[in-house]
Amino acid sequence: MARRNDHSREQLKDLAIESVFNIVDSDECATVTARAVTQGMGYTVGTLYLVFSSIDDLLLQVNAELLKRLHSDMQFAVKNEVDPQATLFAMAKCYFLLAEHYPGRWKLLSRHREKLGDEETDNIVESIFTLVETELARLAPIRNNKEIAIAARALWSAIHGICVVNASSHLRHRVHYDARSLVRTLIHTYLSGFMSDNIAPPT
């Protein structure tokens, strides 16, 4: 089945995704062009369309791969921590470190969140939320399933938002203290409120 090079469709996909990583890792502001991607794989532009339906399709699959790795990192955190709160810190750290160490990859992730994702991507995101929910449930038994689900999304949104602000911090900010402690403070403060049995907010 293989021709000129011994690369199956699957291998071509991996090559392309790898090439995208190389591009955004070398320069987080670089634009991922079809020609740059295929040049990085040692192919020409047409080959990309043999394996992906469009550039957006490629980037979608890149993001799916990123999310899979994130989920894997977070699972590792769950295994290595005992305290639920410590686990949540560790999981948040996984996300934060992705943004800090691989800003280019993380920007792909946050830039394409707006576009419609396919079912696979959504499922990975769901599995990530499930990890968070499990810890929240252990931490605040007084909360019901719905409250847990909402809290997981709110908390994760907040962490994501901090990464966004951090990524776009132009040094010029009046308050600049590091995003790492910002995340820690956020989780701590939020959980403190979440665990106490305060009354429901006004409607």
Q: Which residues bind DNA (CB under 7 A)?
A: 1-5, 7, 9, 12, 31-35, 38, 42-47, 49-50, 54-56
Question: Closer to its own copies at the Cβ: 18 or 100?
Answer: 100
Assess contact for 108 and 59: CB atoms under 8 A: yes
Assess contact for 24 and 105: CB atoms under 8 A: yes
CB < 8 Å & 24+ apart, contacts of 41-44: 41/12, 41/15, 41/16, 42/5, 42/15, 43/12, 43/15
In 3D, which of 196, 89, 70, 202 has the Cα closest to residue 141? Answer: 196
Question: Closer to its own copies at the Cβ: 10 or 126?
Answer: 126
The site partner of 173 among its own copies, DNA, none (C-beta below 5 to 8 Å per kind) is its own copies
Q: Which residues bind its own copies (CB under 8 A)?
A: 89, 107, 110-111, 113-117, 119, 122, 126, 146-147, 149-151, 153-162, 164-165, 167-168, 170, 172-175, 177, 181-182, 184-194, 196, 198, 200-203
The site partner of 97 among DNA, its own copies, none (C-beta below 5 to 8 Å per kind) is none
